[in-house]
Amino acid sequence: EEAFVRESASEFFTHFLEYFLANSPPHPFVTMSGSAGSSQKDEPFDNFYVEVKEIERRDSVLTSKQQIERLLRPGSTYFNLNPFEVLQVEPETSVELIKKKYRSLSILVHPDKNQENKDKAQQAFEIVCKAWKTLESDVTRKKCLDVYEEAKDRTDHMIAEKRKKLKKEGRGEEAIPEDDPSKYKHAVYVMTMKLFADMERRRQQLETRDQEERKRKREAEIEEEERIKQDRLWQKSWEESRQSRVDSWHSFQAGTSSSKKKKKPKKPLEFNPPKLKPETR
């Protein structure tokens, strides 16, 4: 019951904080260069945010049910493309610590520990295992880190474009949302998810194209096999009917010879003059 209360409080404060950050105007004391007044004004709020995040991190590994729901929540197909997000580790985390996190998380969502929800637990367990296999390999982990670095570069470029636009409008000293470290981190997170989704989309397109190409080649192979089969059948039929054709030709030749022998020579035509009739007077 106590865990449920902490979980509900964490979700409430997190949602409230996200809404507050998304809808509140820039703090009047916040400038691009920063100031002592700004840090003093924001210190209670920053402490509150850190405390909320700490509660959220503690609660994130508190129950098996919560982890299963997190891994199978709506939109998880794309969220789970990011193995760092699945295992709830930062990209800079060492492999040893990632392995420890994987072990603890795999125990929480293991189907044997969640008999009342075994099917969903099995799905969550497979997602966790897949994420660990991705980060365990040096090659695939480097690819994921490259995606993260590209997300940071794109986010920095986006921020630079925002600053350039403000400068053109004569508001160069005005702060932008990404000046807040938490919002900057969130922007990098969103960009990282977008890049992973783009990668998955391209992979699916290539896989579909490859399947169509293999299907086309297979259809061509089947057509060629059928043509060869028909040619062999025709050749076989031709060979089997060879003797029949020879016999038929011999019979034809024999019939022609006998008809020539039986044919009688024609007699030469004779000229028979008409008979004379006696003249009568």
Give domain status of residue 246, yes or no: no
**Quick one: pLDDT at residue 25?**
42
The answer to whether the Cα torsion of 92, 96, 97, 102 is positive or negative is positive
**Quick one: pLDDT at residue 51?**
54
Give domain status of residue 108, yes or no: yes
Q: Does residue 108 contact residue 61 with C-beta atoms inside 8 Å?
A: yes
Give 19-77 pLDDT, tens digit per residue: 444 444 443 333 333 444 444 445 555 555 555 455 445 545 558 889 999 999 998 88
Tokens of 206: 């290539």
| Helix segments in 110-241, DSSP class H | 118-136, 138-168, 181-240
**Quick one: pLDDT at residue 148?**
94
Give domain status of residue 245, yes or no: no
Give domain status of residue 257, yes or no: no
Give the position of tokens 């009688």. 264
Give domain status of residue 78, yes or no: yes
pLDDT, one tens digit for every residue, the chain (281 residues): 334 334 444 444 444 444 444 444 443 333 333 444 444 445 555 555 555 455 445 545 558 889 999 999 998 888 899 999 999 999 999 999 999 999 999 999 999 999 998 999 999 999 999 999 999 999 999 999 999 999 999 999 999 999 999 888 888 788 888 889 999 999 999 999 999 999 989 988 999 999 999 999 999 999 999 999 999 888 888 888 878 878 787 787 777 665 555 555 666 666 677 777 666 65
Alpha-carbon dihedral of residues 68, 72, 73, 74, nearest 10 degrees? Answer: -170
Give domain status of residue 149, yes or no: no
Q: Please return the burial class of 101, using the count of CB atoms within 10 Å of its CB with bins 0-12, 13-18 and 19+.
A: buried
> Which residue type does 195 have?
L
Tokens of 77: 């197909």
Number of Cβ within 10 Å of residue 280's Cβ equals 4
**Quick one: pLDDT at residue 39?**
44
Q: Please return the burial class of 216, using the count of CB atoms within 10 Å of its CB with bins 0-12, 13-18 and 19+.
A: exposed
Domain residues for the domain of 119 are: 62-136
Give the position of tokens 């929480």. 108
Give domain status of residue 243, yes or no: no
Tokens of 160: 């630079």
Query: DSSP string covering 181-193, please?
Result: HHHHHHHHHHHHH
Q: What CATH number corresponds to the domain at position 125?
A: 1.10.287
Q: Which of 152, 193, 160 is nearest to 176 (CA)?
A: 160
Determine the longest span between alpha carbons in the chain, in angstroms: 175
Number of Cβ within 10 Å of residue 177's Cβ equals 16
Q: Count H helices, E strands: the chain? A: 10, 0
**Quick one: pLDDT at residue 245?**
77
Cα separation, 103 vs 272, in Å, equals 131
Total domain count, the chain:
1
Give domain status of residue 175, yes or no: no
Q: Count how many residues are written for the chain.
A: 281
**Quick one: pLDDT at residue 44?**
54
Helix, strand or coil for residue 33?
coil
